[in-house]
């Protein structure tokens, strides 16, 4: 085939154009790399030559609320190696081994690594650092690295937590606020060749670190010291395995102290068992026992199912939901008001409140509003949620379960949840989030962040006020007498909870007290828990004194003035400030008249030979102070003449268990309960004549329609 001159020219032109295109592409690429990407490649080349040695920032100082230093950073030297510059690995390892107390083989491995720098040891003492510097070994350098130090040793150890050897937070507030405390790392940069050796007259640059922010806590170190001292003493004296004390300002949510014993020293935490570092006040749940009755009682008051002077009758035990709930007192407390039931810590009354008067749904609503079954939101890692049964989803009888929850069994709480509930009552029914952080400040002392105070209402203010005085009465007249602080009107509730193991309750106990002071203007709420004491285990005997000693000192530290008590019976004094209208009880049976008067906040004194009321003083409709005694006079219509040894059995059918108990008690007869609900049958029958103290067997059944 013959190629024409035109074709040859066309092919040459194509080749020429292709060559020009390729040259243009290469030129564009060259311009792109040399001009456009010049800065990037320069940085890349520089980064390959520049080998940084990190310089740690100082962690921020942790202060207490009075600016007392609880955690600081101190300078300590660290030794590092640049493997490429080490001339004799074996000789270097041999010389460093006795100084660093590390075997030669381990040091040789570190010195042989293909890394720019390798840390050999940190937190060196002064003598060791001086000795290493004197050796002047090639490739071995020293640099200052700040280390955490806790000047007060064990004080507030469970609050502060610990920081690691790399200056990072590991536990407690050190890790929770690590992003504020740790600061920004700096570095020393040196220019090196491809083998890692420093280039003579090369670039050397120091980028200073930025120190961390300072953390100001709500903790008062003096109150904290008092709490730790008294808690340690109580644990030792009672033979307890562990103890917790927590204090909080109920008006702000600020935690003033948190002590756990046994404790540890965060400066040498490795020397203590790991369990000692566990903050059980926030991380562990337990069945609270009678201290939980503050929730049951305040919920019942708030829901209107009881009044302070509502009457109850405790025969010593009741059957409810298929289980028998026994009172701690043999034979029970007999007739008592609601106030007295709280003072007496009467389990049958609280079982009835939880399972029947409140009921599962309403009781559960109050429990969750108080914050049980969920985290309180405290600014601390590892908080437990607790364990609360859900209505309709319990594993055994619904009524029985809520009866036991009423007196603090069958529910799991943490000490901080119980403290939060106590503080809620002290704060007029408003729940605040407990917290440790008061404010965060920069290095110039300027406030960067403050903890926000946000509250949610749990119970009505009036309910909280009334119940606060009832808790005051527990201290004045009930089981909490050892928590009384002269001049400070403390209020609270005791608890002695059985410990369940293997599905059944054992003889082991958890003793506690929770309360606040002063009762009429609370400045501090506190909770004490002693785990598994040996010997005496009543919370009112061994936990209440810890509350008394620490809170008394705390109130003095806080500058709260003592005051003179207006009356030893503060509850009566409180209710006398309120008025009640005397109800009409004429022609009512004596027992029913008493109940009506108690429900109106009044007391009664009965005179006469019969049961039916035919006169009363003051008259119906009269306005009188709460707690006033109403004289009621009876005439002889029914049942019982105290001088007569033969008793006519009253009619019981259709009455509630409480009404039956009251009527038989008045008649001088004893009650044997069978079943639950309202009275359906009785033996002996109504109208029978029997001796005094005869046992009347009464059979109760659920009302029609249940």
Residues catalogued as catalytic: 290
Lookup: tokens for 324:
């028998």
With 0-12 / 13-18 / 19 or more C-beta atoms within 10 angstroms meaning exposed / middle / buried, residue 474 is buried
> Directed axis angle between helix 293-303 and helix 461-477, to 10°?
130
Closest CA to 168 of 75, 57, 67, 260: 57
- List, in order, residues 6 or more apart from 620 with CB less than 8 Å away: 582, 583, 584, 585, 586
Q: Where are the beta strands (DSSP E) in 4-49?
A: none
Measured CA to CA, the distance from residue 584 to residue 593 in angstroms comes to 9
**Radius of gyration of the chain measured on its C-alpha atoms:** 38
How far apart, in Å, are the Cα atoms of 148 and each of 64, 173, 379, 623? 16, 13, 21, 68
Cβ atoms 86, 190 nearer than 8 A? no
Cβ atoms 583, 597 nearer than 8 A? yes
Q: What is the DSSP string of 617-630?
A: ESPTT-EEETTPEE
Measured CA to CA, the distance from residue 47 to residue 192 in angstroms comes to 10
How far apart, in Å, are the Cα atoms of 506 and each of 404, 500, 501, 532? 16, 6, 7, 11
Measured CA to CA, the distance from residue 682 to residue 664 in angstroms comes to 12
Cβ atoms 51, 192 nearer than 8 A? yes
Lookup: tokens for 12:
């040459």
Measured CA to CA, the distance from residue 517 to residue 649 in angstroms comes to 50
Q: How many other C-beta atoms are found inside a 10 Å radius of the C-beta of residue 541?
A: 18
Closest CA to 372 of 406, 420, 436: 420
Closest CA to 239 of 541, 537, 506: 537
Distance, first Cα to last Cα, the chain? 113
Cβ atoms 480, 514 nearer than 8 A? no
Query: Using the 8-state DSSP alphabet, how is residue 249 labeled?
Result: -
Measured CA to CA, the distance from residue 548 to residue 554 in angstroms comes to 10
Query: Using the 8-state DSSP alphabet, how is residue 198 labeled?
Result: B
Three-state SS at 261: strand
Lookup: tokens for 265:
């020293």
How far apart, in Å, are the Cα atoms of 653 and each of 317, 660, 683, 686, 698? 21, 9, 11, 9, 9
3-state SS string over 498-541?
EEEECCEEEEEEEEEEEEEECCCCCCEEEEEEEECCCCCCCHHH
Q: How many other C-beta atoms are found inside a 10 Å radius of the C-beta of residue 237?
A: 14
């Amino acid at each position: 085939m013959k190629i024409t001159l035109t074709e040859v020219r066309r092919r040459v032109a194509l080749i020429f154009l292709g060559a020009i295109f390729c040259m243009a592409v290469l030129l564009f690429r060259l311009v792109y790399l040399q001009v456009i990407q010049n800065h990037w490649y320069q940085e890349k080349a520089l980064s390959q030559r520049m080998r940084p040695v990190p310089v740690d920032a100082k962690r921020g100082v942790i202060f207490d609320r009075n600016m007392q230093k609880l955690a600081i950073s101190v300078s300590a030297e660290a030794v590092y190696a640049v493997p490429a510059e080490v001339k004799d690995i074996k000789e270097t390892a041999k010389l460093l081994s006795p100084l660093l107390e590390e075997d030669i083989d381990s040091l040789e491995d570190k010195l042989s690594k293909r890394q720019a720098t390798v840390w050999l040891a940190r937190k060196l003492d002064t003598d060791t650092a001086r000795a290493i510097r004197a050796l002047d070994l090639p490739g071995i350098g020293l640099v200052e690295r700040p280390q955490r130090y806790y000047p007060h040793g064990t004080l507030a150890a469970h609050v502060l937590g610990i920081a690691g050897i790399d200056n990072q937070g590991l536990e407690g507030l050190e890790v929770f606020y690590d992003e504020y405390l740790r600061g920004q790392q700096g570095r020393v940069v040196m220019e090196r060749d491809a083998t890692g050796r420093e280039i003579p007259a090369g670039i050397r640059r120091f980028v200073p670190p930025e120190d961390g922010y300072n953390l100001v806590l709500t903790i008062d170190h003096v109150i904290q010291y008092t709490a730790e001292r008294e808690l340690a003493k109580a644990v030792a004296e009672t033979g307890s395995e562990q103890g917790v004390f927590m204090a909080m300002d109920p008006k702000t949510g600020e935690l003033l102290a948190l002590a756990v014993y046994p404790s540890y020293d965060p400066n040498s935490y490795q020397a203590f068992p790991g369990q000692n570092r566990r903050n059980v006040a926030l991380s562990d749940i337990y069945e609270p026992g009678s201290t939980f009755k503050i929730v049951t009682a305040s919920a019942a008051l708030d829901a209107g199912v009881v009044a302070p002077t509502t009457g109850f009758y405790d025969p010593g035990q009741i059957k409810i939901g298929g289980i028998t709930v026994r009172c701690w007192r043999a034979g029970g407390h007999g007739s008592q008001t609601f106030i007295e039931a709280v003072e007496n810590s009467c389990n049958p009354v609280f079982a009835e409140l939880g399972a029947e008067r409140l009921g599962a749904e309403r009781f559960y609503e109050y429990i969750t509003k108080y914050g049980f079954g969920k985290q309180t939101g405290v600014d601390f890692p590892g908080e437990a949620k607790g364990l609360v049964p859900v209505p309709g989803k319990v594993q055994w009888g619904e009524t029985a379960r809520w009866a036991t929850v009423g007196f603090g069994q069958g529910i799991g709480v943490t000490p901080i949840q119980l403290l939060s509930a106590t503080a809620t009552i002290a704060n007029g029914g408003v729940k605040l989030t407990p917290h440790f952080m008061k404010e965060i400040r920069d290095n110039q002392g300027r406030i960067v962040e403050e903890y926000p105070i946000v509250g949610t209402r749990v119970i009505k203010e009036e309910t909280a006020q009334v119940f606060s005085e009832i808790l005051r009465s527990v201290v004045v007249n009930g089981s909490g007498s050892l928590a009384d602080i002269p001049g400070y009107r403390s209020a609270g509730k005791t608890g002695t909870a059985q410990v369940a193991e293997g599905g059944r309750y054992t003889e082991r106990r958890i003793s506690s007290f929770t309360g606040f002071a002063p009762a009429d203007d609370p400045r501090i709420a506190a909770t004490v828990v002693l785990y598994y004491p040996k010997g005496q285990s009543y919370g009112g005997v061994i936990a209440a004194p810890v509350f008394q000693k620490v809170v008394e000192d705390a109130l003095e530290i806080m500058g709260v003035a003592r005051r003179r008590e207006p009356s030893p019976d503060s509850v009566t004094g409180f209710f006398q400030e309120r008025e009640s209208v005397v109800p009409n009880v004429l022609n009512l049976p004596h027992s029913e008249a008493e109940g009506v008067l108690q429900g109106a906040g009044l007391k009664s004194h009965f005179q006469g030979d019969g049961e039916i009321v035919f006169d009363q003083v003051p008259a119906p409709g009269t306005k009188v102070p709460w707690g006033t005694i109403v004289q009621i006079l009876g005439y002889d219509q029914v049942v019982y003449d105290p001088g007569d040894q033969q008793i006519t059995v009253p009619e019981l059918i259709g009455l509630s268990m409480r009404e039956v108990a009251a009527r038989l008690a008045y008649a001088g007869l004893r009650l044997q309960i069978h079943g639950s609900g309202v009275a359906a049958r009785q033996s002996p029958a109504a109208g029978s004549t029997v001796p005094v103290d005869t046992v009347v067997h009464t059979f109760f059944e659920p009302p029609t329609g249940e």
